[in-house]
Structure 1
Amino acid sequence: MERPSEGLLSIDELRHAVLRSWRESPTRFTEDTNAERDLRVGAYRDRVFVELAQNAADAAAAAGEPGRMRVRVVDGELRVANTGAPLDRRGIAALASLRASGKEPTGSAGTVGRFGVGFAAVLAVTSEPRIVSRTEGVAFSEARTREVWDADEVPVLRLPWPLPDDEPPLPDGFDTEVRLPLRDGARDAVERIEAIEAIEAEVADVLLVLPWLVEVEVEGRRWARRADGAEVVLSVPDGRHTRWLTHRGRGCVWAVPVTDGGRPRPLDEDVLHAPTPTDERLSLPARLLSTAVPMEPSRRRVLASADSPDVRRALLAAAEAYPGLVRSLPTEHRLALVPPPRFPASDVDGLLRDLVTERLADDEWLPSATSGLLPGRRARVLDVAAPRLVELVADVVPGLVAAPLCGREAARTAAVAQARGLGVAELVDVVGGLVRPPEWWRELYAELLAAVDRAEVELDELGAVPVPLADGRTLPGARGVLLADDTVGDLTELDIPGLHIAHPQAAHPLLRRLGAANAGPAELLRAPAVTEAVARSVEDALAGLDVEPLVDAVLGWVSVTGEAPGLGALALPTETGRRRADELLLPDARLLEVLHPDAVGDDAPLDVLAADVARRWDRETLLACGVRDTFTVLDGQSDVGDVGDVDPDAPPVPDLDLVADDAWPAAVRLLASQPDTWRALTAPDRRLRDWLSVNALLDGRAPRQWRLPSATELSGLFDPVPDVGLTEDLLASTGVRTELALDADHAAEDAELLCARLGEPARTVPVGLALRAHSILAEVSPEDVEPPERVRTLAGTVCDPADAVVLDAPWLVAVWPAERLVAAADFADAPALADVLDLPLASEETTATVDGKDAEPSFAAWSELPAIVEVADLTGIGVPAGGVLIHEELTVAGTPVPWWLDDLGSLHAADSPEGLARAFAWAADRWSERISVERLLDDPDPRAVLG
């Protein structure tokens, strides 16, 4: 099948030339042997299919038609057939050279060298390869080489041989077939090639790398390649297919797998393809197929270091083409091809990554939110995943990348290409001062709130977001802004400084989250700007300002809410001007019936609301604003102007000081008719009762100067209140006395009143009531009470304090006239009573002693007195220690007395039941039982105790 080619050696001539070179230079044989061994066991191990596929692609390129390839195992031979340009003598010479390629240099990426050193890969499976083609054929044989050259090891591919005469013909439809008789031990490798998984892995890569090869068939299983625009579609035998997006540059092709929908599937790890796979590891998202990178003859490693000029030049060309591949993707997928930050997989990878990221920083590939493309270093990526937000601010942020390239992950990815993220806080600053329709702002808020709910944005970052107001202004920040609802009415006429109401078409829940408040009527009434406007409304009216819109708005809001907190200062009209609402009365107010005539009028504390206003607004609305119908109760006294001007002792009900003197019974009935004032009237703190007890008038006198008709135990000290048309409960609630007691809050005043009543000569005060009154007076501090001008004595009379003493010991009663003794119900109260009344104690003024003219008394211990012991047993009183001096007749300063305690502490008693009983009760500290002891001494019958 050998045919001569002009100017080229025949097969025999090539073989003889090689043999001659070996004979002339034995080192040449050694070099050829070593070179082939290196190729067989080193550079081209495990590359049989790849190298034969490369030859098939080169043949197709040479013929100018897409090529097909078929792989079979026939009669123990691996046979690889292909279409395309057949083998010629140039190719045979290349095969036999071990160092050269028979391909004409074209500089294209389509071919890399046909039948060159890569053919040595077949030696991994055979030592007797043959090539059968339409025009030429050649065989190589280790056995035949050994026949002509005696050596332990000989190169197989240096001596070409003609094909045998019985060589089977080419299969139909193919132009060349490589036939490789399998050496012993190689069948397992062939079986791996036949396995679908291994073939798919290798064939798919080969078809992608070699564009001239469009079909590969392996033992009846078919892989195919077709072009679909910029994409390459690879089909596998089971009907599945894969897509690769490709982009060609100077001496290179970039490729990345994509889905049918065009979504990229970035690579994680790969190798440099030159264009067949090498051992140079890469970590870029796309595959690089380059014919420009200088490679070692094995095509496994770059020829020099990654920093060499030739390698750098080739990698720079590849990097310059990379943005083109990125631009081939739909805009939403372009960030997928930005190399993620990671450690380089190799020196080549490190240099290539740097060059690629630099090109992405300088070249235009990121879609602008307005128009055109942006280089990485001039791009801003919104770090919130909100495409609509990008659209809203596209014309505000220069260099903003279009949606959907946004979000934190997108910003981090684009930062590799030196793009800068755009945070929400910065975005808020950017939109500050913008003039946009309210609807635009509402959309902006909706996007920002969605980002907050997704936890992409913190609310604090939105604190200064602008808010368009209903009056056309824009306010930085939502705090203090009110969101009006449909019940507040038309606010266009309302001009209140500091009242910030959001434009209704811009209102959004985000503003509420940022501090804005709902602006229903209740919220507006509590708004500081409104309360301040109300507080100065009278002053504004007097200054000539129109407060009618404010008044109408406030009354309208109150009519909806039914309440008006702190709005008593609202300037409402009277018949002659404007006054505070809480200084006005309804035209038919019940208060008018009890107030003094001078309390109502232009210059008076109160005035009457204009009749037309009273007719226009319902009664409840006006009352809620503070207009009066009846008495009201102050809430913390905050409704009567400046708290600092309020008397802390003032009653909780205002205007009581304006009641006419003769109208107090009616005023009390009015207080009792309303739940609030009734609670104040009966409150435990008694503030209102105490005030009324001093300041109200019942028949010309303060209530505390009267007693209830039923409080007869106070007869003599206090007169019963006249019939003024009030029940006893109401009378008691005004401070009319019900018992003998000092008011805790007015103890000093009550004490002075008691002293005055006790000192009135015309009063007949029962002695017991006087004693109890004196004990009560002992509870008062002397500093709080002026000593009285007259005091009441045990005789029921009054005397000058200079003539009186306070009885502080019971035995002294016998030697002092009753007309000079002032006593309390309990001797223990005597010292305090003396201090209050500024009187001496009787014991301090007494100089009398037991008369010595009496017969010598006899001393008897208490336990030695049978009658005393018997009485003690009957009464349960313990017999005290000590005893008593018993006198036949006991006199002190000439006055007979039943008993006495002398200055030495000795008890004296007349020999009588009265004397002994008193001395014994005093000694036993049971003074209150002296009368019963006396009776038992007189008649010690147990029945006297029991009956």
Structure 2
Amino acid sequence: MTDPFDTAALREGTLLAWRGSPTRLREDVAAEADLVRAGYRDRVLTELAQNAADAAMAAGARGKLRVQLHGDVLSIANTGAPLDRDGVHALVALRASGKSTGVGRFGVGFTSVLAVSDDVELRSSSGSLAFSSERTRIELASAGLEVPDSGAPVLRLAWPIDERPPVGFDSEVVLRLRSDVDVDAVLAGFAAEAVDLLLELPALESIEIDGARLHRTERDLGGGLIEVTIGPTTWWQYVTKAARWLVPVADGRLQPLTGDVLRAPTRSDEELSIPALLIADVAMQPDRRRILPGTGLTDLVRGYADFAAALPSDQRPDLVPLPGFARSEVDAVLREALLRELRTHAWLPAAGAGDLAPARATIVSGLTPELAGALADVVPDLVDPHLSGPRHASALAAVDVHRIGLARIAELLGGHDREPSWWHALYTAIEPIVVDAIAVEELAAIPVPLADGRTVTGPRTTVTGTDLGGALGNAGTALDWVRLVHPGAAHPLLNRLGAERATAGDLLSDPALKARMEDLDYDDPTTATELATAVLALVGLAEPDARPAWLGELPLPAADGELVPADELLLPGAPLADVLVEDSPFGTVDADLVARVGEEPLRALGVGWGFAVLRAELPTGPEHDLDDEDAWWDTLDDDPDTLVAVRDLDLVDPSRWPQALTLLADDPETAAALADRNGYTAWWLRRHARIDGRPLAVLRARDDDTFAGLLDVLDHPAAPALAAALAPAVIDDTELAGVLLDRLADATRTVTPDVVARTHRLLGAAASRHVLDLDELILPSRVRSLAGTVVDPEDALVLDRAHLGAAIPPERIVLGAFETAPALADLLDLPLASTAIDAEILGDGEVSSWDREPGAVLACAALGMHLPTGPVVVHDALVVRTRGAVEGDVAVPWWVDDEGRTHLRRWQVGEGS
């Protein structure tokens, strides 16, 4: 048997040492036992894998490690450089290692095998060794040495053997397991360690445990990031000068660690709570479980920020150690060093391009890309908005990223002069993060651009008019009576923050505008024109009923350069100018202003084209500067809900009323005012307007026959629209009554009995209603009879009882309505027929009843009357004898005597009713 490593000499040297110092033997036994019980108690595979990794590195090739169990024999084979003399010396020396590179090339770590076996073989292609507790006992006995009570050492004496490692492998450790070893537990432990070992020992390519093989692959992701895959598990690895950092990855996202240990390079007992797995060459105690006291750790973290910078931007904060208690002194040092590294190096994605050092970065909770863009040059060093949510809040706070709220944003925005569209975009971007009352309060000082060019602090004193759009144009600069948000910046967010909503009508109705108008200097046409331009822009947007009447007082430039209230101006070419008196107070508005703003807003403001219409809600008296308004108000029983009146009728040239009436009728607004008979406009026209010297009140429409023959027809194309301004179908004032009485007395007028009777009936009704001032009536010298003739009042009688009409000639009868006959008689100063005539019936009749008399039944049917009930006196010939104003015997068809009995002439067969 060959002995390539001269183990005989090594054994002889060791025995010689033991013979010379029995204490040395006991120390070796104790040291070996201590290493097994403490430092290497559960590191069999770890230590053998380290040796395998060193062998692979020495051979310059990726290594393989295979673990197989055959009964109670455990085989751990590996590829790489075979066993050499230095390695053998290191194995048997116990306290020394023959390594010059690598982690543990056959040093004290090999002692770990004693945790499961006292019979160990190390087979290599360069030669093989055997270690045995039993053979050492025999050797001690042969040398005359006493075996210590604690047993014999196993790894101090080596014997050469002829066995070689299996094909495909360069070395093999064979362990005959002790009977007290749980084989299944050992293999399970090996399997649990395999993944970690492949991570920790990149010189190993694969580890096979009892047939299950794990393979390590790497893929360069760029930027220094390496993807490491072992079985189904993936890590991202970053290598710095002092360490390797790895973080598990699932579906492309980091899975930060919450607890691990320092790996130097294999697992130690130094617990860590940092989010990445740390593998580094750290000075460790001999058992490799703890670092050596005084070992520096801060250099290990250099480059960690570069690791973060290499990651996708939205995952970089996952590498920040989150606040919490350190798990060890090493952990505390590393955590603080990592945070310091991360605070001071650029790795945090900026909202724009590049990376930021967290200590200089600023984050806004809920920041969106749109808001980040808006704030780019307002808030410096903004963090990528994708990192502004609550998920990363703790991590960014740990590295001292400066977090600002909405109040600070509002403060930083102060003093910036931007276009309204920029502010609108900012409000749009910031709105999604204004989620509660606190956020609203924080933005109380956000700047707001106004339509007049100013920028104010806070929206609570402003108003928005989103309906204004861009219609104001440059006119907005003159809206200085109200803090109107510039239409280009108006946004619903401002209303949530306290700005009031306002329509164009609201702005026009603002008392501050009226005060602004009153303060205008009439010697400053430039300022007045600017204000007028703004008001006219609003007038064009406001609803008609939202324009207060006092807007007509707004000074506008006239054609002569003077400032004149709008309602005292006419548009160039206005038809109203053709019907007014020569000295009317109206001027003409400046043509340049008309060209700039258009005619419609000027007309809406009160600049005349045709007649202007005054509207006043809930008026309380004659205070609207209308001509003769007091007199009209006296005609009303109650104040109207709305006063609608055409203005300036008193300025019409009397000779131009035909043209003026056409103008009134053609304009729908003034025509509507004309239609109200009781309204001011129709009343004023009836009272004051004249056609050919005749008031409209005594003219009638062509299709109104109420007073045909008495009142003349208004011969005008607009007559149908002027009906309410013409004579009514009733008599409601003294003037009309006087005209009708005069016309009735005019023999040159041909009037039908029907019109005469109707007119007398209406006169009687007016007199009975006491709407006529009898003291102002001058009665004509003649009256009109039922026959249509004009007669002397001495001969006329007002018929007040129907049956008397049969006894009075029609030329003497004045007929109205029987029920108002006394009032008519009083009005005309005529006697009633019943008081002026006395009559008796000649002859006796036969008492009958209405339903028995064919003539009575026929007469009632013909007249559409109900047949009376009760007695009736029937005469073959009914004759009455009258005395007084009419004397004589008269045959009559019926009569009512003084006792109220009705008398009838008997109906003869063949006689009509």
TM range (shorter): 0.5 to 0.7
Question: Which of 550, 566, 577 is equivalent to 2:530?
Answer: 550
Q: Secondary structure at the match of 1:329?
A: helix
* Aligned partners of 2:224 and 2:239 also within 8 Å: yes
* 2:365 corresponding residue in structure 1: 383
Q: How does 1:562-641 map to 2 (within 5 A)?
A: 569-575=554-560, 577-585=562-570, 590-599=575-584, 605-608=585-588, 630-634=609-613, 636=615
* Aligned partners of 2:272 and 2:328 also within 8 Å: yes
* 1:939 corresponding residue in structure 2: 908
Q: Which runs of 5+ in 2 are unaligned?
A: 142-148, 497-502, 633-642, 885-889
Question: Which of 868, 879, 883 is equivalent to 2:871?
Answer: 883
Aligned partner letter, 1:71: R
What root-mean-square deviation, in Å, do the aligned CA atoms of Structure 1 and Structure 2 show? 7.4
Question: Which of 700, 705, 721 is equivalent to 1:707?
Answer: 700
* Aligned partners of 1:570 and 1:625 also within 8 Å: no
> Structure 1 residue 414 and structure 2 residue 396: aligned?
yes
Q: Distance in 2 between matches of 1:719 and 1:37?
A: 139
Q: 1:6 to 1:626 in 2, by over 3 A?
A: same
Deviation at 1:476, TM superposition (A): 3.8
Q: 1:847 to 1:859 in 2, by over 3 A?
A: farther
> Structure 1 residue 130 and structure 2 residue 121: aligned?
yes
Aligned partner letter, 1:542: Y
| Residue correspondences, number | 830
Q: CA-to-partner distance for each residue in 1:278-327, whole Å, 9 max, x for gaps?
A: 8999775322558999999997xx9xxxxxxx99x99x987997696345
* 1:466 corresponding residue in structure 2: 447
Q: Distance in 1 between matches of 2:735 and 2:336?
A: 101
Aligned partner letter, 2:871: G
- Matched-pair identity in %: 21
> Structure 1 residue 825 and structure 2 residue 825: aligned?
no
Deviation at 1:804, TM superposition (A): 10
Q: 1:390 to 1:336 in 2, by over 3 A?
A: same
Aligned partner letter, 1:726: H
Deviation at 1:398, TM superposition (A): 8.0
Question: Which of 319, 323, 328 is equivalent to 1:337?
Answer: 319
> Structure 1 residue 179 and structure 2 residue 174: aligned?
yes
Question: Which of 659, 664, 670 is equivalent to 1:666?
Answer: 659
> Structure 1 residue 735 and structure 2 residue 725: aligned?
yes
Deviation at 1:696, TM superposition (A): 0.6
> Structure 1 residue 206 and structure 2 residue 197: aligned?
yes
Which sits farther off after the overlay, 588-597 or 689-698? 588-597
> Structure 1 residue 692 and structure 2 residue 681: aligned?
no
Q: Secondary structure at the match of 1:244?
A: strand
* 2:499 corresponding residue in structure 1: none
* Aligned partners of 2:245 and 2:277 also within 8 Å: yes
Deviation at 1:206, TM superposition (A): 1.6
* 1:364 corresponding residue in structure 2: 343
Q: 1:794 to 1:399 in 2, by over 3 A?
A: same
* Aligned partners of 2:759 and 2:816 also within 8 Å: yes
Aligned partner letter, 1:786: D
Deviation at 1:78, TM superposition (A): 2.0
* Aligned partners of 1:752 and 1:786 also within 8 Å: no
Deviation at 1:720, TM superposition (A): 1.8
* 1:265 corresponding residue in structure 2: 254
Q: Distance in 2 between matches of 1:400 and 1:88?
A: 62
Which sits farther off after the overlay, 183-192 or 281-290? 183-192
Q: Distance in 1 between matches of 2:108 and 2:218?
A: 23
Q: Secondary structure at the match of 1:80?
A: strand
Q: Secondary structure at the match of 1:595?
A: coil
Q: 1:752 to 1:666 in 2, by over 3 A?
A: closer
Q: CA-to-partner distance for each residue in 1:591-622, whole Å, 9 max, x for gaps?
A: 444322232xxxxx213567x86998899589
* 1:906 corresponding residue in structure 2: none
* Aligned partners of 2:18 and 2:24 also within 8 Å: no
Q: Distance in 2 between matches of 1:225 and 1:708?
A: 107
Q: CA-to-partner distance for each residue in 1:378-427, whole Å, 9 max, x for gaps?
A: 86412244568668757865886578754554446423556453234531
Q: Distance in 2 between matches of 1:771 and 1:442?
A: 79
Q: 1:498 to 1:373 in 2, by over 3 A?
A: same
Deviation at 1:88, TM superposition (A): 4.4
Aligned partner letter, 1:256: L
Q: CA-to-partner distance for each residue in 1:668-703, whole Å, 9 max, x for gaps?
A: 244456666566656899764443222211222311
TM-score by length of 2: 0.64
Q: Distance in 2 between matches of 1:230 and 1:666?
A: 92
Q: Distance in 2 between matches of 1:560 and 1:793?
A: 60
Deviation at 1:266, TM superposition (A): 3.7
Q: Distance in 1 between matches of 2:400 and 2:826?
A: 95
Q: 1:92 to 1:866 in 2, by over 3 A?
A: same
Q: CA-to-partner distance for each residue in 1:19-70, whole Å, 9 max, x for gaps?
A: 9989xx9xx9xx989x989999xx63xx653342144457899x99999554
* Aligned partners of 1:799 and 1:819 also within 8 Å: no
* Aligned partners of 1:558 and 1:624 also within 8 Å: no
Q: CA-to-partner distance for each residue in 1:184-208, whole Å, 9 max, x for gaps?
A: 9999899989xxxx97x85452243
Q: How does 1:285-304 map to 2 (within 5 A)?
A: 285-288=275-278
Q: Secondary structure at the match of 1:335?
A: helix
Q: Distance in 1 between matches of 2:426 and 2:398?
A: 27
* 1:325 corresponding residue in structure 2: 304
Deviation at 1:432, TM superposition (A): 0.8
* Aligned partners of 1:541 and 1:578 also within 8 Å: no
Q: 1:622 to 1:68 in 2, by over 3 A?
A: closer
* Aligned partners of 2:91 and 2:107 also within 8 Å: yes
Question: Which of 130, 139, 159 is equivalent to 2:131?
Answer: 139
* Aligned partners of 1:862 and 1:881 also within 8 Å: yes
Q: Distance in 1 between matches of 2:561 and 2:660?
A: 28
* Aligned partners of 2:74 and 2:177 also within 8 Å: yes
Which sits farther off after the overlay, 378-387 or 221-230? 221-230
Q: Secondary structure at the match of 2:46?
A: helix
Q: Distance in 1 between matches of 2:719 and 2:427?
A: 66
Aligned partner letter, 2:319: L
* 2:145 corresponding residue in structure 1: none
Q: Distance in 1 between matches of 2:446 and 2:229?
A: 57
* Aligned partners of 1:633 and 1:680 also within 8 Å: no
* 2:624 corresponding residue in structure 1: 645
* Aligned partners of 1:850 and 1:890 also within 8 Å: no
* 2:46 corresponding residue in structure 1: 50
Q: 1:225 to 1:68 in 2, by over 3 A?
A: farther
> Structure 1 residue 719 and structure 2 residue 719: aligned?
no
Q: 1:561 to 1:876 in 2, by over 3 A?
A: closer
TM-score by length of 1: 0.62
* 1:657 corresponding residue in structure 2: 650
Aligned partner letter, 1:596: V
Q: Secondary structure at the match of 2:409?
A: helix
Q: How does 1:452-491 map to 2 (within 5 A)?
A: 452=431, 465-466=446-447, 474-476=455-457
Q: Distance in 2 between matches of 1:228 and 1:666?
A: 93
Q: Distance in 1 between matches of 2:495 and 2:398?
A: 38
* 2:773 corresponding residue in structure 1: 786
